Structure 1
């Protein structure tokens, strides 16, 4: 899904902490294990023991000058990944800020952070190796845009803007769950085919689909035009490819050659695709009730 070229971006919704902690950590060998652990639901505070990283007071956000200079319009979002994250965050905040009041819920805007190398969070210290994540303790979504290369090169997802935007939207789905109170189910019932953790992750996929289905109706007041261009069949295919790439069965098969549903935390590739599609086709957050679904394979 591409942004209309003249749309105006609001970089104040994203903090830029890149460059403050040295070079990137390569995803390979142990790094790939960390990435897989993150995608399988290991929280950042537990990953700290794997990374050997400790929180530091030296890391500070930059002044955001690069984002302000480079990420001004939808054309920039179509050309640069960091700008695409900014634009996606803008769109997500617009959609959820309008949608949640219809369900008698307020939408406190979450923080969003771009980082590389290492980042200190309310959930502990994490490195780029853990991939994108949402920390409920500080209501912040964290993104290293280098992860999108790993999504395609290491995990086999298709390239495309909606594949990347799906990842951002999924993490914002966890923010919605933090507001509704269901996010804790992932820790209370942490693994298994029908576990709370799987239901949490599939609902976040569904919320990402809901956003995608509604994104083109949001108007940019600066231009009077839709903020985003209509979704194409290729866009949808790219998003479904990304959802499939981070399915438990596919990751387990790639890492160990075996699939063990008893240890699932995110759901199968087929389930993740199905719930994203459920959200996209219904365009209704109310259709994302994974917790009362008798069959997670067929929403």
Structure 2
């Protein structure tokens, strides 16, 4: 049980939408003036279906993303400890609280909350139509993080991650990490250099892992807004192992092996399992945005925050 049971879940923090009839997959093209829109997430760029690229067409219509309102059964931290959709929403609230303090303090940039959409099967976004096949993702065009909560069972069953709460919360923190990159003007680096072991894409994803670690560092220490206790109970070594198991499960090398392919660093978009774990730990052990400068790192296998 990770959350303090008395935490109140904001009934307006999330929207819901999507469904099997939406169709389509993520579209990178489109937007005003033909500007390419970047979509990034836990698996983006990795074909999870075995049918080819996870990218195809689709047009966004404003208002299609979903209906405002957190699921009605999500009221308190006790619900977040029991139900995965409630856990996603309360994790987002915890992330909001941490980054609202830390982003201006550490970077001078005011934090703007990302939108949060829970969907089932498929959803229309500011970056095109998406299905659950691409996993959780963040769309900069509408500043929204998207989650089909059925993914978390796949994360355990198909990819071997722990079923522990912090494994799931790490995923939410990673996507909000992309939102931090969007606010700081870094997210486009992934698109300019989209593939390879030293690519901008890999550095962008590893930085999002590091930002997830920053959240974990602060989330069990900083009191919730207007409250007298943090959102999270003190994290244990087991909690951190759960988060690391999720980071390990989504490394490019591990996914390639699981698909029966040879490990090919030239095709990487997210980094190795070891790198993803190390950069999460760099953020967790320092709590510092400065420790997450993957773009300047000379050795992605040796984050400065772990030296």
Give TM-score, length-normalised by structure 2. 0.85
- Residue-by-residue CA offset, 1:171-228 (whole Å, 9 max, x unaligned): 0000011111111111111111111111000000000001001001221356522221
**Closer, same or farther: CA 293–147 of 1 in aligned 2, 3 Å:** same
Structure 1 stretches lacking a partner, 5+ long = 26-36
Structure 2 stretches lacking a partner, 5+ long = 25-40, 48-52
Query: C-alpha distance in 2, partners of 1:251/1:53?
Result: 27
Matching residue within 83, 95, 114 for 1:92 = 95
**Closer, same or farther: CA 282–60 of 1 in aligned 2, 3 Å:** closer
Kept after mapping to 1: 8 A contact 2:58/2:128:
no
Query: C-alpha distance in 2, partners of 1:213/1:60?
Result: 32
Query: C-alpha distance in 2, partners of 1:108/1:42?
Result: 29
User: Matched residue of 2:280: which SS?
Assistant: helix
Q: If each structure's helix is expressed as a fraction of its own residues, which one has the higher value?
A: 1
- Equivalent in the alignment of 1:61: 66
Q: CA RMSD of the aligned region, Å?
A: 2.4
1:47 matches 2:50? no
Alignment of structure 1 residues 234-253 onto 2, 5 Å? 234-253=238-257
Kept after mapping to 2: 8 A contact 1:11/1:86:
no
- Equivalent in the alignment of 1:179: 183
1:216 matches 2:202? no
- Equivalent in the alignment of 2:11: 11
- Residue-by-residue CA offset, 1:73-127 (whole Å, 9 max, x unaligned): 1000000000000100000011111111112101111101000121000110001
Alignment of structure 1 residues 1-299 onto 2, 5 Å? 2-17=2-17, 20-21=19-20, 39-41=43-45, 47-49=54-56, 59=64, 61-64=66-69, 67=71, 69-102=72-105, 103-221=107-225, 223-299=227-303
Query: C-alpha distance in 2, partners of 1:140/1:42?
Result: 20
Query: C-alpha distance in 1, partners of 2:55/2:95?
Result: 29
User: Matched residue of 2:220: which SS?
Assistant: helix
Query: C-alpha distance in 2, partners of 1:63/1:278?
Result: 36
Query: C-alpha distance in 1, partners of 2:179/2:230?
Result: 25
Query: C-alpha distance in 2, partners of 1:57/1:194?
Result: 36
- Equivalent in the alignment of 1:29: none
Query: C-alpha distance in 2, partners of 1:24/1:155?
Result: 25
**Closer, same or farther: CA 117–285 of 1 in aligned 2, 3 Å:** same
Kept after mapping to 2: 8 A contact 1:166/1:208:
yes
Quote how far apart the aligned CAs of 1:61 are.
2.5
- Structure 1 runs of 4+ with >2 Å offset: 20-25, 40-43, 46-49, 52-64, 220-223
